[in-house]
Amino acid sequence: MSQEEMRDVVELSVDGPVATVTLQREKQLNALNRAVLTKISEVAAAVAERSDVRVVLLRGAGRAFAAGADIAQMRDFSAADAEAFSRLGQAAFAALEALPQPTIALVHGYALGGGLELAMACDIRIAAEGAKFGQPEVTLGVVPGFGGSQRLPRLIGQGNALYLLLTGEMVDAAEAMRLGLVSKVVPQDELETAGRQLAERLLTLGPYALAGVKRTVYEGAELDLHSGLRMEAGRFGLCFAHPEQTEGMTAFLERRKPDFPQASLDEGGAAR
């Protein structure tokens, strides 16, 4: 086995309350193969168990976030192989989305195909100037396989999603911002700092409320408006059985910064 193969294709590093997940197949522009997808699932499972981790940053090593699913691995797939591969990727990205901690994708270089689908499975996306986004699957004779046909229309609307999915065109960071695909664009050398700063902001907030927001939004996306509002009211009610609400509202009335209890994710049910 070469040095390259021995190195983990996905690295998890934890620095205090911030976890950083780094894709490390730089030579292939972090193309997502079975090994990478399996490892993303494992990393997500590990992070889900760690109440000390409060924010997750996701990034790509080298010159891209991720240039898509691994075309070399996929080319000779049978239909059954392809479906299994699709499910592997979908499960990995669903595990990321289901994390109670907020996740932030730091996108530079390319986020194409599966790479964009991975970024879309994160809660927030920040782009470096120069980053390119697209769903070029049609240029390879396939439809997206890791959620692109479902998450992209939900994120940027059906019309804009169909434009990107049908043309396979790449858009730059400014256009991605205009479309609502990313929330912020920063110079490339400031990407890590921007991620850190956003993480710092999230660390001042209560983990229970943050996890509750995620669940309410993602579960609500599956529901009609009335059911979604009912679900929201239920979660809102549960917050009032949790110490974060008492602290947040008391701090406001006492004109001080809240000091949210930290290891509080598992108390009550709003977050899960």
Q: Is 117 one of the catalytic residues?
A: yes
By CB under 6 A, which span of 5-13, 84-92, 155-163, 174-182 interacts with ligand DAK? 84-92
Q: Which of 4, 5, 83, 117 is catalytic?
A: 117
Q: Nearest-CB residue to ligand DAK?
A: 145
Q: Is 137 one of the catalytic residues?
A: yes
Total residues at interface with ligand DAK (CB under 6 A): 24
Q: Where does residue 30 fall: left (phi above 0), alpha (psi -120 to 50 degrees), or beta otherwise?
A: left
Is residue 42 within 8 A of residue 49, CB to CB? The reply is no
Our finding on whether 112 is near ligand DAK (CB under 6 A) is: yes
Our finding on whether 253 is near ligand DAK (CB under 6 A) is: no
Our finding on whether 140 is near ligand DAK (CB under 6 A) is: yes
Residue closer to ligand DAK (CB basis): 107 or 112: 112
By CB under 6 A, which span of 9-17, 45-53, 107-115, 214-222 interacts with ligand DAK? 107-115
Our finding on whether 29 is near ligand DAK (CB under 6 A) is: yes
Q: Select the residue interacting with ligand DAK from 48, 71, 94, 238 (CB under 6 A).
A: 71
Active site residues: 117, 137
Which residues sit at the interface with ligand DAK, rule CB under 6 A?
A: 28-29, 31, 67-72, 82, 85-86, 89, 110, 112-114, 136-137, 140, 142, 144-146
